[in-house]
């Protein structure tokens, strides 16, 4: 009930391509869905977030698509760059309660 | 403005020992949360504190404890360390209990 399932585990994309990471959840009480980017040796940094009353949110090259009925959401990274190579985590949260993280996707963008 | 600061950055302990990790939140933030991140996995919630009171606890044994001080800094204590406690311990701070959390760099704990 509390899990957030993330796929794929790893992803290799050519420079300039589109990176797509998918997540699914079960708990309909979740009301906030952030994506985090983590570089080796660093803590996660908030990338972009969405609430379930919105189907899409775009910030620069990063877009979240949200499907409330399917309980799925995804991150699209347009024009992927080598500097985007990192681990990406989707997450879900209910009000002030804990943030539940997915297992992570290791993205490698080939130059 | 300084971000969330954690100390120490790295730590090596022996099985059975005790460890204390420290976190200073972003200035003005009143809530601190602790997460454990095992290599190759997502962070797992341990504790949340707000205004010096525990507001949430994850599925961790009683060997894990924490507290928040009047200046909103926090300590995480782990007793009777096990090899499986080796992980990156992350602290996150937020202004209120339900506002966005910002993570520190973490403390890398290795138990040998």
Interface residue B15 vs chain A (CB under 8 A): no
> Using CA atoms, how far apart are residues A44 and A87, in angstroms rounded to an integer?
9
Distance CA(B106)–CA(A19), nearest Å, equals: 27
Interchain proximity A98–B33, CB inside 8 Å: yes
Q: Which residue of A has its CA nearest to B57?
A: A98
Domain boundaries defined on chain A: 4-110
Judged by CB atoms closer than 8 Å, whether chains meet at B105 and A104 is answered as: no
**Least confident range of A1-5, A29-33, A69-73:** A1-5
The answer, yes or no, to whether residue A43 has pLDDT greater than 80, is yes
Between CA A85 and CA A93, with CA A89 as vertex, the angle to 5 degrees is: 155
Q: Please check the confidence at residue B1 and state whether its pLDDT lies above 80.
A: no
CA B111 to chain centre: 16
Q: Is A103 in CB contact (< 8 Å) with chain B?
A: yes
Taking only the tens place, the pLDDT of each residue in B39-61 is: 989 999 999 999 999 999 999 99
Residue of chain A with shortest Cα separation from B41:
A103
d(C-alpha B57, C-alpha B44), whole Å: 11
On chain A, the residues whose CB falls within 8 A of the CB of B47 are none
pLDDT per residue over B67-97, tens digit each?
A: 999 999 999 999 999 999 999 999 999 998 8
φ, ψ for residue B33, nearest 5 deg: -125, 150
User: How do residues A65-109 score in pLDDT, each as one tens digit?
Assistant: 999 999 999 999 999 999 999 999 999 988 666 889 999 999 999
What domains appear along chain B, each with residue ranges and CATH number? 5-111 (2.60.40.10)
Q: Note whether A98 contacts B: Cβ–Cβ < 8 A.
A: yes
What is the rounded CA–CA span in Å between residue A54 and residue A90? 17
What does the block give as tokens for A29? Answer: 């009480």
What are the b/e assignments for A18-28, b being 16+ CB within 10 Å? ebbbbbbbeee
- pLDDT tens sequence across B16-45: 999 999 999 999 999 999 999 999 899 999
**pLDDT classification of A2: cutoffs 50, 70, 90:** low
Query: If you count residue pairs, one on A and one on B, with CB atoms under 8 Å apart, how many are there?
Result: 52
Residue A1 pLDDT exceeds 60: no
Chain B residues in contact with A95 by the CB 8 A cut-off are 98
User: Sorting pLDDT into bands at 50, 70 and 90, what band is B99?
Assistant: confident
Domain A4-110 bears CATH identifier 3.30.300.20: no
Q: For residue A97, what pLDDT is reported?
A: 66
């Amino acid at each position: 009930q509390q899990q957030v399932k993330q796929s794929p585990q790893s992803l290799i994309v050519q420079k300039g391509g589109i990176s797509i990471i998918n997540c699914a959840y079960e708990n309909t009480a979740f009301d906030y869905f952030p994506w985090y980017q983590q570089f080796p040796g660093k803590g996660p940094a908030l990338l972009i977030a969405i609430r379930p009353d919105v189907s899409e949110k775009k910030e620069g090259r990063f877009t979240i698509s949200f499907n409330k009925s399917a309980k799925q959401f995804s991150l699209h990274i347009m024009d992927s760059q080598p500097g985007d190579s990192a681990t990406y985590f989707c997450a879900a949260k209910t009000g002030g309660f804990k943030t539940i993280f997915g297992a992570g996707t290791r993205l490698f963008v080939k130059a | 403005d300084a971000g969330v600061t954690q100390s120490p950055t790295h730590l090596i302990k022996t099985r059975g020992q005790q460890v204390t990790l420290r976190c200073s939140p972003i200035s003005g933030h009143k809530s601190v949360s602790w997460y454990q991140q095992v290599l190759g996995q997502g962070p797992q919630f341990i504790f949340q504190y707000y205004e010096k009171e525990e507001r949430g606890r994850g599925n961790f044994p009683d060997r894990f404890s924490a507290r928040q001080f009047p200046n909103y800094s926090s300590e995480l204590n782990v007793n009777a360390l096990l090899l499986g406690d080796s992980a990156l311990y992350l602290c996150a701070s937020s202004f209120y209990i339900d506002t966005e959390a910002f993570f520190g760099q973490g403390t890398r704990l290795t138990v040998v």
